[in-house]
Chain A
Amino acid sequence: MKVLVPVKRVIDANIKVRVKSDQSGVELNNVKMAMNPFCEIAVEQAIRLKESGSVDEIIVVTVGAAQSQETLRTALAMGADRAILIETEETPEPLSVAKSLKAVVDREGPGLVILGKQAIDGDNNQTGQMLAALLGWSIGTFISDLVVEESIVKVTREVDGGLEKLELLPPAVVTVDLRLNEPRYASLPNIMKAKKKPLDTLSPSDLDVDVTPRTEVVSVVEPPAREAGVRVGSAEELVEKLKNEAKVI
């Protein structure tokens, strides 16, 4: 079985973002970029499935600017077999990413698509669900456990009250939560090898997908800042302040 793993290049998770002064977005120039942490977990899971013998080939794909090649190379260095870049200068929205991914699924015929549950820039948490809708496939979102068998995909989902188990009819789309696995680091020899692995570049028009945005960003601003607080020196002082000053207990 083939597995398709969509990945996204985002601002590094540990960077504190700065909002641009013209309110058009956040500053991305000269800022460290990396693979979205949830996507790393998706790649790792695909590699583990290949290592256990239930998957033959791992294709990684991304929709984005030319620099997203680096993200694909990272996935190849971790252990993916080949990569597809769908190159666009537009900031792609989840719906157009899902449409692009559907076109890739139609071409490549994977039995499973593994995505991160959300990208840490847009925080949308939509793409996997939308892809499953467009394909008419089953879906397991926010999974913390995955068992892939011939005729069934078993997932454990992280839901608000705890955990939920589902059985999915393949082919399926799953979106991964943080606790699914611990992604590996790519070794230097694997990084070198990854440079020779195939990476195809397509455009949305090659796939007959319209990526015109449906939403317009009116402005991006800093969230309201919190006032600096005060230090207390004892439990009595803290309780007194919570009772009489803040009046919250």
Chain B
Amino acid sequence: MSILVIGEHDNDELKPSTLNTVTAAQELGDEIDLLIAGADCSAAAEHAARVTGVKRVLKVDDPSLADSLAENLSPLIAKLAGEYTHVLVPASTYGKNIMPRAAALIDVQQISDISGIESEDTFVRPIYAGNAMATVRSKDAIKMISVRTTAFESATEEGEATIEEITGAQESGLSKFAGEELTRSERPELTTADIIISGGRGMQSGDNFEMLERIADRLNAAVGASRAAVDAGYVPNDYQVGQTGKVVAPNLYIAVGISGAIQHLAGMKDSKVIVAINKDEEAPIFQVADYGWVVDLFEAIPQLEAALGEGG
């Protein structure tokens, strides 16, 4: 087994998703290379070299890779893939964007969003919004895989990999980065947070999310939302947890005013402990909640805040 992990990074730091993906790679074998493709990405490569289990960091530093454009990044991955039995990428928007393009370039059927590894060619992945688990065997010579990061622990950072500079990047001229609007937050990132408090349509307005933010601050939690809350404009779309948003599996997930539609459950039902606060006792969210409280959220949240305050 020789495994290439595609490192997700912002040129300075490795994203936590890469650490989970390295853990998945370690289940397959111990010849693990980590690709850092970017521009002025020395800091990210040095960070990558500290990840436990990684043998070599392959660093490709080229201006064409500055913005992780699929047209520039995928051919590079496709070219390197020939040296490996497995190529893994986190199933984040970064990985979902670039990996299928690389797989098609080398005529491989990708396996998306794996949550388990049975053997070198057999993987488990959720289908139908997580309502069924499929075990699939790949007949392709090279396995191109995206990894559900919440299904694998984070690799530690006690390694000492060598860094090798390689070349091979090329500007496709097909697309151009034209700006971004990132959501600024002091709170932990949704996909890696230990505790998440999410609001749904029941929150009634964006202003009311401040109540959840105050609780989040007490618990050092991230704030999430259902699709209904995003569509209603209460919060930006990158807050969305679900089949079409982010998949999270924190230690504690508190769902406030969320009914628990199939599509939302797909994004959070692997959380360790689920709390539902909802005034509708028939809401499907109560079927998956470890602790359910049938109450009007506008009464519940201030009381919860007070109770947390007393407990320190």
Contact = CB atoms under 8 A, between A and B. Distances in A.
Nearest to B139: A214
Interface string B170-209: 0011111111111100000001000100000000000000
A98 B104 CA distance: 9
Main secondary structure of the interface of A (DSSP, over half): mixed
B128 A242 contact: no
Task: Give chain A's interface residue range (CB within 8 Å of chain B).
Answer: 35 or more
Interface in B261-308: 262-263, 269, 272-275, 286-294, 300, 303-304, 306-308
Contacts of A188: none
A248 B262 contact: no
A230 to B, nearest CB: 6
Nearest to A230: B291
B238 A167 contact: no
B252 interface: yes
Interface in A133-182: 133-134, 137-142, 144, 154, 157-169, 177-179
A226 B127 contact: no
B180 A163 contact: yes
Contacts of A214: 108-109, 138-140
B50 interface: no
Interface string A82-118: 0000000000011100100000000000000000011
A248 B244 contact: no
Interface stretch (B40-48, B79-87, B94-102, B152-160): B94-102
A19 B134 CA distance: 10
Most chain A C-beta atoms within 10 Å of own C-beta, residue among B69, B173, B275: B275
A229 B291 contact: yes
Contacts of A236: 307
Interface of A: 11, 13-14, 16-17, 19, 26, 93-95, 98, 117-118, 120-127, 129-134, 137-142, 144, 154, 157-169, 177-179, 213-223, 226-236, 238-239, 241-243, 246, 248-249
Contact of B180 (A117, A165, A227, A234): A165
Contact of A179 (B108, B136, B219, B231): B231
Contacts of B131: 16-17, 26, 222-223
Contacts of B130: 223
Nearest to B130: A223
Which 7 A-B pairs rank lowest in CB-CB distance, beginning with the nearest?
Answer: A129-B100, A130-B104, A214-B109, A235-B303, A133-B104, A126-B100, A138-B174
B275 A242 contact: yes
Interface in B88-121: 92-94, 96-105, 107-113
B135 interface: yes
